[in-house]
Structure 1
Amino acid sequence: MVRKRLEGKVALVTGAGQGIGRGTCVALAKEGAMVAVAGRTESKCVAVAEEIRASGGTAIALRCDVTLRSDIEDAVSRTVRSFGGLTTVVNNAQSLRDGPLEFATEDDISLSWESGALGTFRMMQAAFPHLRENTDSCIVNFGSATAIRGSTGFGAYAMAKEAIRGLSRVAATEWGRYGIRVNVVVPHALSPAAAEFHAADPERAARVLKAVPLGRVGDPELDIGRAVVGLVSSDFGYMSGQTLMLTGGA
């Protein structure tokens, strides 16, 4: 039997109940990783975990609000107890409330910050003692093209997403000695949030799509999840501290 690329890997994915999170979990599981599907809405995570198991994969569902350190520590502990360790963390969870900067409130900024930058930091810190026990552990964090471009109406979100990229570069430098690689993925893919954006402002959505040279929106599993599989695998074993743009050339 051909050995799958990620056999022996244990991955904990946040924001995993839908969209890119779900696609990433499915892609990881198809390559042999044992996957902890973590998110705020437990029922969605249960559905994803059942989908993976129905296809022959290994997965558990975990309720995890990344704004709560207690939830994160519990998710990490349950993953380690279930699968015997932890080699991979994918920080996808992020909430936002968009709008022009002149009308943004500190509550808007706090929502993005707590769920994004601080949520990512909390998970990385909680997972670190377990990741350092392996010779090839990997963290994949999620950035955003809206932050890199400075897209109108996404100030609070951009703050959190660019903070995540800075955090990732520092972690790659400090934790490389333990064999922990840290990279960032910037995706453009179908998701519930993207669907809401398209429905709310179809003209702007059409302009965004027109600016994508490949002419389509990415698939959460095939375009984003499969790329995460590559980053997690030994194929990218010498890549750390980098940002991988998965935006169809935009």
Structure 2
Amino acid sequence: MGKLEGKVAIITGGAGGIGSGMARAMAKEGAVVAIVDLNEEMGKATEAELQAISPKSFFLKADLMDHANLPNIVETVVEKCGKLDILVNNAHVSKQVPLAETTQAHLDLSFGTSFYPTFYLMNAALPHLKETKGNIINFASGAGLSGHKTQGAYAAAKEAIRGLSRVAANEWGEFGINVNIISPLAYTPGVEAWSKSQPEYYEQVRNQIPLGRFGDVEQDIGRVAVFLASDDSSYITGQTLMVDGGSLMLH
């Protein structure tokens, strides 16, 4: 029996990167995983990979910027699978520019692909998570916690998600719903591209990580997501877990 045997999970941004790593980790523990993404090609490829492990897992194409349609994501999954146990709000798109050059469009993109979908999907999932005493996993970033330069819109949305998550943890704890946050540092396709374009800077950053490496999307980030989605974490809520090799140590 896997840790998530028989559980149903939604993962936004699940077609690649950290999202697909979490999807694989959860599928291997017995979950039925619905990966939500706009990239159909990557989504279908990841769907095939997941179905070899968890045959009922599937890809759902959706534009998270279409906020009015977000509740339909939850309803589609519940209609197909009969319930919902786990909601993972992982998707985020943003552009890096200095704060003085940040425009309304930059803010709209960052909040529109992450904060608002997190808010609307959490509320849409609430009645179903009440029934299963389920788990919500949202995503923060070291960029927000330490205030990285050129990441104003990104950092603001990530910190807004942390605030929202703590409110939800307080309000929904009475229903047996756990709400936690992962702040990751992982070797994603984006980091891989960066390592090739700026190898010296990449090595400098990597050497500053106490554990000396970027995390693996499945083994490092995915396994922590499995923990937070399982009964093993039933007495943890409202917390930010730094899954970043020790890069940031919260006090």
TM-score for both structures, normalised by structure 1: 0.95
Q: For residues 50 and 147 of structure 1, what CA distance do their matches in structure 2 show?
A: 34
Q: For residues 189 and 69 of structure 2, what CA distance do their matches in structure 1 show?
A: 24
1:9-57 CA-to-partner distances (Å, cap 9, x unmatched) read 1100000010000000000000001110111112222211110112344
| Alignment partner of 2:98 out of 84, 100, 108 | 100
1:143-182 CA-to-partner distances (Å, cap 9, x unmatched) read 0011101111111100000000000000000111111100
Compared CA separation, residues 199 and 98, structure 1 to 2 (3 A): farther
Q: For residues 13 and 248 of structure 1, what CA distance do their matches in structure 2 show?
A: 23
Q: Given that residues 29 and 58 in structure 1 are in contact (C-alpha distance below 8 angstroms), is that contact kept between their aligned partners in structure 2?
A: no
Q: Which residue number corresponds to residue 208 of structure 2?
A: 211
Q: Given that residues 142 and 186 in structure 1 are in contact (C-alpha distance below 8 angstroms), is that contact kept between their aligned partners in structure 2?
A: yes
Q: For residues 73 and 42 of structure 2, what CA distance do their matches in structure 1 show?
A: 16
Q: For residues 22 and 133 of structure 1, what CA distance do their matches in structure 2 show?
A: 27
Q: Given that residues 31 and 54 in structure 2 are in contact (C-alpha distance below 8 angstroms), is that contact kept between their aligned partners in structure 1?
A: no
Q: Which residue number corresponds to residue 188 of structure 2?
A: 191
After TM superposition, the runs of 4+ consecutive aligned structure 1 residues lying more than 6 A away are none
| Alignment partner of 1:20 out of 18, 30, 52 | 18
1:73-117 CA-to-partner distances (Å, cap 9, x unmatched) read 222112111111001000000001002111111111111111111
Q: Which residue number corresponds to residue 143 of structure 2?
A: 146
Q: Given that residues 15 and 94 in structure 1 are in contact (C-alpha distance below 8 angstroms), is that contact kept between their aligned partners in structure 2?
A: yes
**Secondary structure at 2:57 match in 1:** strand
Q: Given that residues 135 and 178 in structure 2 are in contact (C-alpha distance below 8 angstroms), is that contact kept between their aligned partners in structure 1?
A: yes
Compared CA separation, residues 124 and 138, structure 1 to 2 (3 A): same
Compared CA separation, residues 199 and 101, structure 1 to 2 (3 A): farther
How does 1:1-250 map onto structure 2 within 5 Å?
3-134=1-132, 136-250=133-247
**How far is the alpha carbon of 1:63 from its aligned partner?**
0.6
Across the aligned residues of Structure 1 and Structure 2, the Cα RMSD in angstroms comes to 1.3
Q: For residues 109 and 203 of structure 1, what CA distance do their matches in structure 2 show?
A: 31
Q: Given that residues 181 and 241 in structure 2 are in contact (C-alpha distance below 8 angstroms), is that contact kept between their aligned partners in structure 1?
A: yes
Q: For residues 33 and 68 of structure 2, what CA distance do their matches in structure 1 show?
A: 20
Q: Given that residues 66 and 123 in structure 1 are in contact (C-alpha distance below 8 angstroms), is that contact kept between their aligned partners in structure 2?
A: no
**Secondary structure at 1:230 match in 2:** helix
**How far is the alpha carbon of 1:4 from its aligned partner?**
1.3
- Structure 1 alignment gaps of length 5 or more: none
Query: Percent identical across equivalent pairs?
Result: 43
1:188-245 CA-to-partner distances (Å, cap 9, x unmatched) read 0012332343344333322221110111110000000011000111111000000000
Count of aligned pairs between the two proteins: 247
